[in-house]
Amino acid sequence: MTDSKVYTPTRVHQGCSDTAIHFQRTMESCFKELLYKHLLVWVDDLLLDARCMDEYLEKREHLFRLMNESRACTRKRKVDPERIKSLREIPYPTTATGLQQFLCTANWLRENIVGSAEAIKPLQEGLDDALGNKRSRSFHRSPDGDMVLVTDASDKGWSIVVTQVEKWDSSKDVGGQSHSLLTCLSGTFNCAKVN
């Protein structure tokens, strides 16, 4: 602003502290016709919503029209199709083992899929039914054995070890027993976990 004229920039100034807010507002103004009715905008991510496929296709065309009018730059492939190609090509599981392998393989996507727990629940229940007692036996190698839980933690990390002792010898301490490893977990504390 000067004493004779008001200048309005057409681009975000490099180094501005509120560029994310400015960008968000710009995106919202570009797509205001669809915003909060059929479209949500979060910085550079757009989520288009409709009640049926015909309405979705109509709103998608409207979105593309608005993108052309505002000269929005987009990347055709934001998600790398090669990354999920092998996941899409996994054959449908026909056995409990195949289902378990599929669930373990797809596990890394759960944080990125809204409602993944609900989608996976029937598959997990089917797996539980198929495995039945075999599943519970895998955690107890011997029905007569004693389970031992050993934990450790410091300010840097933590660990948990679960073992089973076939025949507990009362004359020996825990370290002197004959342990069979059932499972173990460990991790480090970082960022917020340190607090």
Q: Say if 99 falls within a structural domain.
A: yes
Q: What pLDDT does residue 75 have?
A: 57
Whether residue 64 sits in one domain with residue 88: no
Q: Say if 117 falls within a structural domain.
A: yes
What is the rounded distance in angstroms from the CA atom of residue 157 to the CA atom of residue 154?
A: 5
Of the three residues 95, 120, 135, the one that is the final residue of a domain is: 135
What is the rounded distance in angstroms from the CA atom of residue 150 to the CA atom of residue 179?
A: 12
Whether 104 and 127 have beta carbons less than 8 Å apart is answered as no
Whether residue 130 sits in one domain with residue 148: no
Q: Say if 35 falls within a structural domain.
A: yes
User: What total number of domains does the chain contain?
Assistant: 3
Q: What pLDDT does residue 134 have?
A: 59
Q: What pLDDT does residue 23 have?
A: 74
Q: Say if 10 falls within a structural domain.
A: no
Whether residue 117 sits in one domain with residue 155: no
Q: What pLDDT does residue 46 have?
A: 83
pTM, 2 dp? 0.33
Q: What pLDDT does residue 140 have?
A: 56
Whether residue 39 sits in one domain with residue 65: yes
What is the rounded distance in angstroms from the CA atom of residue 54 to the CA atom of residue 98?
A: 37
Q: What pLDDT does residue 105 have?
A: 74
Which residues of the chain register pLDDT less than 70?
A: 1-3, 7-19, 72-80, 83-84, 87, 108, 133-141, 192-195
Q: Going along 63-190, which residue ranges are E strands?
A: 146-153, 157-165, 179-188
Chain centroid to CA 178: how far? 39
Whether residue 90 sits in one domain with residue 129: yes
Q: What pLDDT does residue 55 have?
A: 92
Q: What pLDDT does residue 94 have?
A: 86
Q: Say if 122 falls within a structural domain.
A: yes
Q: Say if 7 falls within a structural domain.
A: no
**140 token code pair:** 């107890």
Whether 99 and 93 have beta carbons less than 8 Å apart is answered as yes
Domain with 177 in it: 141-194
Q: What pLDDT does residue 61 have?
A: 92
